[in-house]
Structure 1
Amino acid sequence: MLIILVVAALLGYRAISAVPSLLHTPLMSGMNALSGITVVGAVAVFVTAPEGASGWAAAALVLAMINVAGGFWVTERMLRMFKAKSSDITEEEVPWQ
C-alpha cells in the first residue's frame, strides 16, 4: 500500500506540474465539483450507518465539508489574481464579490 501511495503522489505531482498556471483555476473548480460528490456520499453513509459507525460517518461528513470549503476558498484566491486592477468594473459585472 505504501508503494501505491508513493507512486500515486509522484504521478499526481508530475501531472499537476505539467498544467499551465492559467488552467489551475478551472482545474480547482472541477475538483470542487468532485469533492461535492464526496459530500453526497458521506451524507448517504451517515444516513444509513449502523449505530456503532455513525461517529465515523459524521467524521467523514465533516472532513468532506472542510475539503469543499477549502477548495472554494483557494479557488476564490486564485480568481482574485486575475481580477482587473482598474475600478471601472462594477459590482454587477463581478457577482461573486
Structure 2
Amino acid sequence: MTLWLLKWLEIHVPRQQRASLSLVVGSEEAIPDLSDPLESAQWKTRFVSRKRQAETGRDIVSYEVRWRDGDWHTPPRALQGQVATRYPIEAFDVTAEPGH
C-alpha cells in the first residue's frame, strides 16, 4: 500500500517540467516572440538558438519551455496547440528531470 501511494504521488504531484521546442520559420522572418501567448498560460519560454538550414532555406528556432505539471511523460497538448496555430513545430521534446 505504501509503495503504491508513493508511486501515485511521484506521478501526480506537480513539479517543474522542461522541454525543448523547435519551430520552423522563414529565413527572413523575425524570431517569434512566444512570451505573450505562452507565459500568460503559465509556460515560461527562453530563446536558445536560431540555425539556418541551407538546403531548405528555412530556419529552426529553438526554445526551452518550463511549466508545472504532474504528468511528465507527455508534453502539454494545449501548449502545442497554441504554438502550432502560428508556427510549424519541428520538434517538441520533453526532458526528464534528474531522478525521473
**TM-score w.r.t. length of structure 2:** 0.25
Larger radius of gyration: 1
Pick the structure with more strand per residue: 2
Pick the structure with more helix per residue: 1
**TM-score w.r.t. length of structure 1:** 0.25
